[in-house]
């Protein structure tokens, strides 16, 4: 079902975004990778035989330009994967104002704008898939993550609204909610979490990242990519508007 579909993957230069771009490209989609990291994004696009567009999604103009360029080149947008991330760990009283604003711009405003700009073409073709890469933190909170948790909770609300508005036009929306995934971003978090929580780095994965998990391991990016591919398949056409949990059992307990 995804073959020849036009897919935008934001934050596609590494981690979950790269894994999703790889999976969709392997399945025959026409993938457009968008990332603020031009060198890394271009390298991945060349490796996969896909298109790369440099975009700083904290700017409204870049969000609009990204969708316009894709439509000009490919004629439409079928799948929008809002994956671009921004990580900051700090106690609430120490959280910098400028970091908050940039985080909200990348993680919440950009998905809203990209969906808005892609909406007319999805509506016209009566088919669209919006995949918001949320997080376990779209449904639960953790200390020292006030900005991240706020953005992800709001992203789930956006997903639900898009689902309600898009259903009659064949547009579905999903919030994919993984627990900790083995990505460069998570690896960088280990030292920051250790500092914020005053624990040794080697204890962060065990005591913080996996403490509430039933399955005691990090999730691999390819596993998230497989779920994303399924949500664009025919068997998933009745699914929309709910968090899709990949949480190693995090929310199964109290």
List the CATH number of the domain containing 14.
3.40.50.720
Look at residue 200 and tell me if it is in a domain. no
Fill in the DSSP letter of residue 109.
I
Mean pLDDT of all residues in 105-122:
98
Please write the tens of the pLDDT for every residue from 33-68.
999 999 999 999 999 999 999 999 999 999 999 999
Look at residue 201 and tell me if it is in a domain. no
Look at residue 94 and tell me if it is in a domain. yes
Look at residue 231 and tell me if it is in a domain. yes
Distance CA 131, CA 243 (A): 11
Q: Categorize the per-residue pLDDT at 189 as very low, low, confident or very high, splitting at 50, 70 and 90.
A: confident
For the chain, the average pLDDT equals 94
Instruction: Name the burial class of residue 160, with classes exposed (0-12), middle (13-18) and buried (19+) by CB atoms within 10 angstroms of its CB.
Output: middle
Q: Categorize the per-residue pLDDT at 188 as very low, low, confident or very high, splitting at 50, 70 and 90.
A: confident
Look at residue 188 and tell me if it is in a domain. no
Contact 148, 48 (CB under 8 A): no
Other C-beta atoms within 10 Å of 213: how many? Answer: 19
Look at residue 196 and tell me if it is in a domain. no
Other C-beta atoms within 10 Å of 28: how many? Answer: 11
Q: Categorize the per-residue pLDDT at 167 as very low, low, confident or very high, splitting at 50, 70 and 90.
A: very high
Structural domains in the chain (count): 1
Active-site residue list? 148
Look at residue 208 and tell me if it is in a domain. no
Percentage of the chain lying above the pLDDT 90 cut? 80
Select the more confidently predicted residue: 33 or 146: 33
| pLDDT computed for residue 81 by the predictor | 98
Look at residue 102 and tell me if it is in a domain. yes
Q: Residue 171's beta-bridge partner residues? A: 128
Distance CA 177, CA 92 (A): 23
- Identify the domain containing residue 21 by its residue range: 6-180+219-248
């Amino acid at each position: 079902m995804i073959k020849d579909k036009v897919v935008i993957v934001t934050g596609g230069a590494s981690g979950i975004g790269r894994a999703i771009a790889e999976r969709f490209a392997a399945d025959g989609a026409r993938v457009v990778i968008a990332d603020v990291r031009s060198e890394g994004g271009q390298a991945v696009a060349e490796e996969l035989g896909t298109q790369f567009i440099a975009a700083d999604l904290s700017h409204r103009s870049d969000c609009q330009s990204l969708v316009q360029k894709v439509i000009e080149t490919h004629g439409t947008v079928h799948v929008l994967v809002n994956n671009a991330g921004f990580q900051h760990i700090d106690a609430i009283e120490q959280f910098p104002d400028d970091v908050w604003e940039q985080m909200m711009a990348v993680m919440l405003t950009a998905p809203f704008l990209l969906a808005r700009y892609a909406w007319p073409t999805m509506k016209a073709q009566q088919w669209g898939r919006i995949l918001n890469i949320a997080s376990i933190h779209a449904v639960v909170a953790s200390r020292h993550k006030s900005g991240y948790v706020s953005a992800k909770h709001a992203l789930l609300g956006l997903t639900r609204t898009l689902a309600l508005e898009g259903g009659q036009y064949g547009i579905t929306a999903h919030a994919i909610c993984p627990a900790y995934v083995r990505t460069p971003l998570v690896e960088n978090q280990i030292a920051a979490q250790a500092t914020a929580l005053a624990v040794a780095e080697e204890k962060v994965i065990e005591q913080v990242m996996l403490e509430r998990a039933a399955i005691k391991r990090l999730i691999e990016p390819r596993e998230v990519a497989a779920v994303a591919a399924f949500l664009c398949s025919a068997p998933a056409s009745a699914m929309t508007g709910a968090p899709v949990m990949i949480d190693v059992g995090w929310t199964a307990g109290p």
